[in-house]
């Protein structure tokens, strides 16, 4: 049985390097998910994660147990799990989308000034997933020094 599971969480930012954390998470996720036919999308902004996992029920539930216990985030809130006929994110072992205007606008319309995935419910989840499906996949810059980012006052994440 195929399912889609969605959750939100808050990043643990105790002095760690955000870009390195994201790179590590995506490397682990893509490697494991490829081997276990799991697909999905991860969005990160404003210290919050949203992730959608698709795959066989047992495989998704098993990896979700591990993800819940991961110390790189906390306050994991399970939003929804439901049976699906087809995978929407089959092109990606884990698509990554970084902060983007359409999604900021989507949350503004929900009355949220920041990216606050914990406010998503059964009703708002489907259009949000649609936004993530059509969004461009983002690459995490390699070898970018923290200093460079901070000096420019730019933090796209
Ligand atoms: C926000 C977030 C999303 C993650 N997504 C996945 C994922 O999709 N697939 C995966 O295998 N690991 C994912 N991980 C990493 C797992 O939590 C865990 O580190 C990994 O499965 C290795 O666990 P192990 O060392 O116990 O085998 C994610 C971690 C975080 C913090």
Give per-residue pLDDT as tens, 5-35. 999 999 998 767 899 999 999 999 999 999 9
CA-to-CA separations, 42 to 48, 97, 129, 151, in angstroms, rounded: 10, 6, 11, 27
Edge to edge, the sheet with strand 73-83 lists 73-83, 2-11, 48-56, 39-45, 95-98
Q: Which two tokens stand for residue 147?
A: 């200093």
Distance CA 110, CA 88 (A): 24
**In contact, 40 and 51? CB cutoff 8 Å:** yes
Decide: 45 in ligand 1 pocket, CB within 6 A: no
Q: What is the pLDDT of residues 28-48, one digit of tens each?
A: 999 999 999 999 999 999 999
Q: What is the pLDDT of residues 56-71, one digit of tens each?
A: 999 999 999 999 999 9
Average pLDDT of the chain is 92
Ligand 1: residue of 44, 50, 66, 79 to mutate (most ligand atoms within 8 A of CB) is: 66
For residue 98, the tally of other CB atoms under 10 A from its CB is 18
Q: What is the pLDDT of residues 110-121, one digit of tens each?
A: 999 999 999 999
Domain 2-134 fold is Alpha-Beta Plaits (3.30.70)
pTM of the model: 0.92
Decide: 29 in ligand 1 pocket, CB within 6 A: yes
């Amino acid at each position: 049985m195929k399912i889609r599971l969605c959750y939100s969480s808050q990043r643990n930012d105790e002095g760690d390097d955000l870009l390195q954390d994201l790179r590590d998470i995506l490397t682990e996720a893509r490697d494991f998910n490829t081997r276990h036919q799991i697909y999905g999308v991860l969005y990160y902004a404003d210290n919050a994660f949203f992730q959608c996992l698709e795959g066989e029920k047992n495989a998704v539930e098993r990896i979700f147990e591990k993800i819940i216990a991961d110390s790189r985030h906390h306050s994991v809130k399970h939003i929804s799990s439901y049976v699906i006929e087809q995978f929407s994110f089959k092109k990606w072992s884990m698509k990554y989308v970084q902060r983007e205007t359409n999604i900021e606008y989507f949350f503004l319309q929900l009355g949220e000034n920041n990216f606050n995935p914990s406010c998503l419910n059964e009703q708002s989840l489907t259009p949000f997933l649609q936004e993530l499906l059509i969004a461009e996949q983002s690459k995490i810059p390699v070898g970018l020094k923290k200093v460079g980012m901070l000096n420019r006052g730019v933090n796209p994440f």
